[in-house]
Amino acid sequence: MQLKENVSLKPYNTFGINVSAKYFANFTSLDELKELLTNSKFQTPDSYLILGGGSNILFTKDFDGFVLKNELKGIGLVKEDDTFHYVKANAGENWHQFVLHCISNNYAGIENLSLIPGNVGASPMQNIGAYGVEIKDVFYELEAYHVNDNAVQKFSLEDCEFGYRESVFKRKYKDQFVILNVTYKLRKQPLFNTSYGAIEEELKKMDVKELSIKAISQAVINIRSSKLPDPKEIGNAGSFFKNPTIPNEKFHSLQNEFPKIVGYPFGENETKLAAGWLIEQCGWKGFREGDAGCHAKQALVLVNYGNAKGEEIYNLSSKIVESVKDKFGVKLEREVNII
């Protein structure tokens, strides 16, 4: 563990934004984390940021504090019962590698979440989700370190208060805890979930004779690779905005005005709108100003074509929010963490 000063964060965020951190260090154990947090340079006014894979962050300025990169590694089976394997992964494990590990051991439940960038530790932060599955569906518990109380605390499913791209760690406990490890409850007998998106179609294309979690994972990998820009080629953080939810009544009145509006039932009284569709209707798809842009195939994904500043991407996102509000009266919320 080494505390470095004035480190460029460009390699550490998938948007590829070139800002610097005043202090930067990796930690590979809880002891190292504690040592960093008690460093004499780390004083209360100094902010700190726990960094995973940097795939859900937009840096808009230099970070005037400590960036602590989580490198806690290790995966293990902690217990099992008739129905589940309980698998614990340390927060610094790469998410997709963890998914592949589970698939090769026949632990079922997260195959639909294949190829999501980032690390295990961030998976509960926004209750990651894709193709009809969210972390809350397989979550058992996690351990997190309270920075001020100096203590490790366990969180159950209820404690995390998961919602759509939400958890307590994004709201009431924001910046208070460092997630150390997460235990997932994974099925011995898979419950295949192929109804979402183009999974069925892709499985047919792949000519899959016998359905398996491995086949579903591969189908999801194929679909995602064909649809989403690869951050190694074009900087991005996936969906920039959440899909907004509105009361059914408002949805019906929007339907009268915009018959093609895309919406899905969300609970009994609300409808979830496709933010990408709203953005596209406002003419942003494929828009580019300097190196900041809105992806040509996925309007929900904002991109850095090379040397965009975080502020430029943020300003573009504000213009998008404004125009969607003007046209549809719907407020878009950013999914990406703005730093």
C-alpha 273/C-alpha 282 separation (Å) is 15
SS3 223: helix
Quote the CA–CA distance of 18 and 12 in Å, as a whole number: 9
Across-strand partners of 63?
21
> Please, what is the minimum distance in Å from the beta carbon of residue 225 to ligand FAD?
10
Asked if 310 touches ligand FAD (CB under 6 A), the answer is no
| 116 is a contact residue toward ligand FAD (CB under 6 A) | yes
Binding positions for ligand FAD, 88-107, rule CB under 6 A:
91
Measured CA to CA, the distance from residue 243 to residue 208 in angstroms comes to 32
Amino acid at 140: Y
State the nearest-atom distance from the C-beta of 176 to ligand FAD, in Å.
Answer: 9
Cα 161 → chain centroid: 16
Q: State which residue, 271 or 304, has the beta carbon closest to ligand FAD.
A: 304
The contact mask relative to ligand FAD for 55-84 (x = CB under 6 A, - = no) is: xxx------------x--------------
Task: Exactly one of 239, 312, 317, 334 is catalytic; name it.
Answer: 239
Residue 141 per-residue DSSP state: E
Please state whether beta strands 84-90 and 75-80 pair in parallel, antiparallel, or not at all (unpaired): antiparallel
User: Which residues make Cβ contacts (< 8 Å) with residue 248, sequence separation at least 6?
Assistant: 269, 270, 271
In b/e form, how buried is each residue of 10-29, taking b as 16+ CB within 10 angstroms? eebbbbbbbbbbbbbbbbee
- When asked if residue 123 is in the footprint of ligand FAD (CB under 6 A), the reply is yes
**Whole-number minimum distance, CB 327 to ligand FAD, in Å?**
26
Of the listed 93, 114, 141, 165, which one is catalytic? 165
Residues 318 to 337 in contact with ligand FAD, rule: CB under 6 A = 337
Site string for ligand FAD, 235-254 (x = CB under 6 A): -xxx----------------
Q: C-beta of 288: minimal distance to ligand FAD in Å?
A: 18
For ligand FAD, which is the closer residue by CB, 322 or 333? 333
Residue 317 is a binding residue for ligand FAD (CB under 6 A): no
The sign of the dihedral angle between the CA atoms of 195, 196, 201, 206 is: negative
Q: Which of 179, 213, 303, 332 binds ligand FAD (CB under 6 A)?
A: 179
Amino acid letter, 182: V
Active-site amino acid positions:
165, 239, 335
**Site residues for ligand FAD per CB under 6 A:** 14, 49-57, 70, 91, 116-119, 121-123, 125-126, 128-130, 178-179, 228, 231, 236-238, 337
